[in-house]
Amino acid sequence: MHLRCILQAAAAAAARKTLKPSQNPFLIIPTIPKLSPLSPLSSFYSSKTAASKSKSKSKAKSKDKSAKESSTATKDDDAFPGTEDLDAEDADPEDLSNVADPPPPIDKTLDVGPKGLPLFAMTRSIAELGRKDACTYMDFSLADLIAVLAEGLPSGMKREFKETRRSALLVRQNFLDLRDNFRRIVDPPLHNKGVKVRKQIVLDGPVSCGKSIALAMLVHWARSEGWLVLYVPQGKEWTHGGFFYKHPDTGLWDTPIQAAKILQDFLKFNKSQLEQLKCQCYDPIPLGEGAGVGWMRGADSMAMPEGSSLFDLIQTGLTYTHAAVGVVVRLRKELSMVKDVPVLIAIDQYNSWFTFSDYQEPVTPRSCRPIHARELSTVNAYRSMMNDDMMVGAFSHSTAVGKLRKDLPDVPLDARINLPRYSLDEAATVCHYYLRQRVIRPDAFSEEKWKKIYYLSNGNGSEMRWLVPFM
């Protein structure tokens, strides 16, 4: 018996030796070795790149585990729909498959707000909203919203849509004031009542007070009016991750991967307008180091031909990685010279541009110096509000930046506006909307209970949304 096993093993070994390399399943073909973190070739890449990969793997494992656990658990058919996703951390805010699109028609018998007032605005256009529509909800088509805000929806907006199963947003008075401010700049009223207009505004306020949603609604309104809008929904991405190096001519740090992403996002909605706008500056565009390809041989600049459009300029930055950063910087100058259409620059997570970035510069063999965001070429070109352009920046306190001083560099002293949390009237409308969407049990709803939740959360929108199912 033992002799038979020995003979079979020997025959199998002889058969493997006669196989060709392509036919041998046990042959390990050597591949190009990966660069170690200490390799000088990878020293210009952010540590966040590797960390994000490990995070994505761990998230995928946890999702598979939770999916298996949820598949074995039984669900009650009569479960209340508002209690399915109580744990906001386990729910995927990117998944909006449960949102009704288009929204259901308004039913006056069901859509009743506090004191018997209408719960929804009768218009579907932000431009037509008036003061009478404050403290009401406005329905949006989810497909239209994703198309207009092609760069990405704010995370708070996604979570609101997912948990209420409806793409509707609260119309707040502070947003109407923000919209009317920029409307007066472009279309001044005949009878000026002495209302001061601001071309540069910084939206500040406590956590979850609606800064990002107000900025996104402003971008939606401006684009529906035909404006050219540069919308940056995640300004922190400009200062984190990817490849970076110090340009010898400017002394600033270039990030070509982020620059290409900026140009791609700008083209998503504005392509048709950019094809019609001509370049005003034809100075040579400085070239830098491309991402993973080094410097371009025999050239340090690139000229744009006469008659080029802004679309051609952006395509140059996308085609040649060496010119990506130079095109982003040149685009900022070109936007200041556009006169045919109003131009708005809207930046979310604007406070991340006033602190240190993710990048570090080696100083000694054992120490590194953190690089400030203002030392990055892209941030340095777009951060300043000391100009005549219309700009809006929104602070995001979920980025762990910390509290900044009141007088920020490159920002006018009167530019900062504090957005409050929900008022008592707004909270009443929000709770009636959650009742309408069955986030709150009808038998548990009462004025006393929703007021307790309002005072417990201090008007924090995300905390109220998390607490109301427990009413």
Sorted by where each begins, the domain ranges of the chain are 81-171+422-470, 228-418
Q: Which of 175, 262, 260, 155 is nearest to 221 (CA)?
A: 175
pTM: 0.80
Distance between alpha carbon 120 and the CA centroid of its chain, in Å? 27
Label residue 405 by pLDDT band (50, 70, 90). Answer: confident
Among 109-113, 208-212, 300-304, which stretch is predicted with the lowest mean pLDDT? Answer: 109-113
More confident residue, 331 or 62: 331
Q: Does residue 384 have a pLDDT over 80?
A: yes
Q: Does residue 20 have a pLDDT over 50?
A: no
User: Strand order in 200-204's β-sheet?
Assistant: 228-232, 343-348, 390-394, 200-204, 416-418
Above pLDDT 90, what percent of the chain? 63
> To which residue do tokens 């409806």 refer?
166
Q: Does residue 85 have a pLDDT over 80?
A: no
Mean pLDDT of 406-415: 90
d(CA 70, CA 60): 15
Above pLDDT 70, what percent of the chain? 79
Per DSSP (E only), the strands in 291-415 are 294-295, 301-302, 343-348, 356-364, 367-372, 390-394
User: What mean pLDDT value characterizes the chain?
Assistant: 83
Q: Does residue 44 have a pLDDT over 50?
A: yes
Side-chain half-sphere exposure of 383, counting CA atoms within 13 A: 24
Query: What SS3 class is residue 165?
Result: coil
Mean pLDDT of 314-330: 96
Label residue 110 by pLDDT band (50, 70, 90). Answer: confident
d(CA 74, CA 62): 20
d(CA 1, CA 219): 80
Among 85-99, 154-168, 386-400, which stretch is predicted with the lowest mean pLDDT? Answer: 85-99
Among 91-100, 112-121, 350-359, 373-382, which stretch is predicted with the lowest mean pLDDT? Answer: 91-100
